[in-house]
């Protein structure tokens, strides 16, 4: 090592010796990548805390017996219709009673081509290609509906089934 041997006698000899005897190597790339990816699970867990939450505001409510816009009177007699607005989106909600239990159907407008999970009364589903969702056999009670998108969630509070 040409002129290095004499340098090793100086005050930095220990430092230099350690540098020159360091034969460690990098770990395999896939093991490093796996270790780094661990953190993504933590990032996903943290997500609900940082996304924007919009509270749906009830715009109109049509009770059974009142015909909804464009609706035939036969179904209007049994279905209750509610219209909520949240930001740029609106949600049309229909509640019907079948044998003492309730069916809740909804459709999202104004957020086309978006995927969302829908949570209601301990059940979970997803929006279909038309932005619609439905829950069957829900017992009487007061609930909230949550639509969770990638970057925000919409919450409809005070959904009374009676």
d(CA 69, CA 57): 19
Q: Of residues 18, 88, 129, 130, which one binds another protein by CB under 8 A?
A: 18
- Closest by CA to 132, choosing from 120, 150, 153, 116, is 116
> Is the dihedral angle over the CA atoms 73, 119, 47, 36 positive or is it negative?
negative
9 binds another protein (CB under 8 A): no
C-alpha gyration radius of the chain: 30
User: With contacts defined by CB under 8 A, how many residues of the chain interact with another protein?
Assistant: 31
- Closest by CA to 138, choosing from 161, 115, 156, 117, is 161
Residues 40-69 close enough to bind another protein by CB under 8 A:
40, 42-43, 46
4 binds another protein (CB under 8 A): yes
Query: Using CB under 8 A, which of the segments 22-30, 60-68, 75-83, 114-122 binds another protein?
Result: 22-30
What residues line the site for another protein (CB under 8 A)?
1-4, 7, 12, 14-16, 18-22, 24-28, 30-32, 34-36, 38-40, 42-43, 46
């Amino acid at each position: 090592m040409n002129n290095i041997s004499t340098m090793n006698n100086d005050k930095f000899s220990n430092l230099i010796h350690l540098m020159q005897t360091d034969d460690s190597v990098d770990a395999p790339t896939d093991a490093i990548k796996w270790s780094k990816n661990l953190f993504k699970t933590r990032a996903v867990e943290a997500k609900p805390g940082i996304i924007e939450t919009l509270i749906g505001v009830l715009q109109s409510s049509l009770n059974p017996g009142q015909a909804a816009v464009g609706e035939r009177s036969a179904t209007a007699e049994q279905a209750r219709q509610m219209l909520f607005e949240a930001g740029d989106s609106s949600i049309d909600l229909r509640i019907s009673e079948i044998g003492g239990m309730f069916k809740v159907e909804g459709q999202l407008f104004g957020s086309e081509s978006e995927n969302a999970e829908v949570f209601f009364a301990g059940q979970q589903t997803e929006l279909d290609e038309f932005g619609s969702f439905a829950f069957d056999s829900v017992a009487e009670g007061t609930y909230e509906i949550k639509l969770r998108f990638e970057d925000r969630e919409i919450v409809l509070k005070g959904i009374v089934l009676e």
